[in-house]
Structure formats: structure tokens, C-alpha cells
Structure 1
């Protein structure tokens, strides 16, 4: 088997695994408001070095950044919620964070299927 064929197969395997991670992020995000996404995040961190130099690397980075920014906005909403005066603002922040995360998951999945790297 040629070296190029092995590399192509490794990239395809990495892409398939990234697809599974996008689906896992989506499921944990939609059914647990992202709390279980920490498990998928750990897998992203573990698998990302294996994909260095491929478009899949940018997708792992995209998922990792999406998680951390989502967490920042959820915590910001939580801080506002505690102040009681900020409850309506917290609700808006949480809704916008949820929509933003849904967009990031969908866009990443579609771009991966189109063989496009994510902006980093």
C-alpha cells in the first residue's frame, strides 16, 4: 500500500471521528445544556495533536473554542442571575449563547463534510 493511500485513509478516519465528536457535542449540548460536553471536550484535546497539518485539526480547535466561549457566556449569565436584577438579562444571554453554540456545531459539521477548514 502506498504512503499517500495510508495518509488519505488516516485523514478520512480522523474526519469520521470529528463527525462523531460534533454529534456528541450536539447531543450533550441539547440534552444537558452543555454540562456533559466536558467529556467530549477532553476527547477533542486528546485527538487534536493526531490531526496536526490537516483540516481536521482546525475542527478540533473550533469545537474546543466553542465550548470555552459558551461556558464563559453561561457563567456570565449565572452571575447576572444571582444579582436578581439581572435575571431578564441573564435569560437573554443564555438564549443567545445557546443559539450561538447551535450555529457553531451545525456550521462545523457542514464545513467538515464539505472538506473546509474552520477559521482559527
Structure 2
């Protein structure tokens, strides 16, 4: 078996695993508002070094950054909710963060299927 075929097979395996990660992020995000995404995040951190030098690496980075920015925005929403005046604003920030995260998951999944790296 040639080295090129081994590389292509490894890349396809990495892409398939990244697809599973996107689906896992989506499932945990939609059913637990992201609280269980911590488990998927850990797997992203573990598997990302194995994909160094490929476009799949950018997808793991995209998922990791998406998670942390979502956490930041939800923390802002929780902080605003603590103040009585900020409750409507907290709701708005939470909804915008949720829609933004859904966009990031969908865009990443589609770009992965189209063999495009994510902007890093």
C-alpha cells in the first residue's frame, strides 16, 4: 500500500471522527444547552494533535473556540440575569449565543463535508 493511500485513509478517518464530534456537540448543545459539551470538548483537545497539518485540525480548533466563546457569552447572560434590570438583556444575550453556536456547528459540519478548512 502506498504512503499516499495510507495518508488519504487517515485523513478520511480523521474527517469522519470530526463529523462525529460536530454531531456530538450539536446533540449535547441542543439537549443540555451546552453543559455536556465539556465531555466532547475534552475529546476535541485529545484528538486535535493527531490531525496537525491537515484541514481537520482547523475544525477541531473551530469547535474548541466555539465552545469557549459560548461559555463566555452564557456567563455574561447569567451575570446580567443576577441583576433584576438585566433579565431581558440576559435573555437576549442567551438567545443570540444559542443561535450563534448553532450557526458555528452547522457551518463547521458543512465546510468539513466540502473539504474546506475553518478560519483560524
Q: Where in structure 2 are the equivalents of 1:64-103 lying within 5 Å?
A: 64-103=64-103
Which residue of 1 is the match for residue 32 of structure 2?
32
Superposition misfits of 4+ residues, deviation over 3 angstroms: none
Q: How many residues align?
A: 120
Unaligned runs of 5+ in 1: none
RMSD, matched Cα: 0.3
Which residue of 1 is the match for residue 53 of structure 2?
53
CA displacement, residues 27-50 of structure 1 (integer Å, 9 cap, x when unaligned): 000000000000000000000000
Distance in 1, Cα, partners of 2:111 & 2:75:
29
Distance in 1, Cα, partners of 2:110 & 2:3:
29
Which residue of 2 is the match for residue 63 of structure 1?
63
Distance in 1, Cα, partners of 2:77 & 2:101:
15
Deviation at 1:84, TM superposition (A): 1.1
Which residue of 2 is the match for residue 11 of structure 1?
11
Q: TM-score, normalised by structure 2?
A: 1.00
Which residue of 2 is the match for residue 113 of structure 1?
113
**1:22 and 2:22 matched:** yes
CA displacement, residues 60-104 of structure 1 (integer Å, 9 cap, x when unaligned): 000000000000000000000001110000000000000000000
Distance in 1, Cα, partners of 2:94 & 2:80:
11
Unaligned runs of 5+ in 2: none
Q: TM-score, normalised by structure 1?
A: 1.00
